[in-house]
Amino acid sequence: MQRYLEMAPALESDWVSLARQLGIGDRDVLRIQLDHVNVVEQAAAALQLWARAAVTRSNGSELEAALRHIGRLDIVERFFGDAATRPEEPVPTSALDGQFTAAVTLLCVSYLVLGLGPEGAGLLVTAKLCAKV
């Protein structure tokens, strides 16, 4: 987390764009702005909030991607090394595809067990997906 906090002074007012990219909501952004007067403290608070929430789901790659998205390649290069010159790596989808298929199958089976059928539940998309399973 210390590494992330070292980015705060470099972010300046771009922390708000970064926070939104990282999924920090407007309410949390406003709370941070009210609780901290200094923009560096605001950036640090946003990074701390994200880091606490991201512990189980992410490493620095999410932060790196968000920094790229807001155009802060200077920070990417400084904190992630030569990452600014690397092309973005695609997210592997094979695991996600398997999870999605399992979820759709479970949903379809649930509808059948309940005797609803996906059409009866008013879910046309689900009906089309269930037809494929």
User: What is the mean predicted confidence (pLDDT) over 73-94?
Assistant: 65
Angle at 127 between CA 123 and CA 129, to 5 degrees: 115
Backbone phi, psi, residue 67, to 5°: -65, -40
In tens, the pLDDT along 107-121 reads 555 555 555 554 554
Residue 54 in contact with residue 23, Cβ under 8 Å? Answer: no
pLDDT of residue 128: 52
Is the whole model's pTM more than 0.75, yes or no?
Answer: no
Residue 87 — very low, low, confident or very high, per pLDDT cuts 50/70/90? Answer: very low
The CATH fold of domain 2-84: Death Domain, Fas (1.10.533)
Strands, E assignment, 5-130: none
Q: For residue 88, give the 3-state DSSP assignment.
A: coil
Report yes or no: 118 and 127 within 8 Å, Cβ to Cβ.
Answer: yes
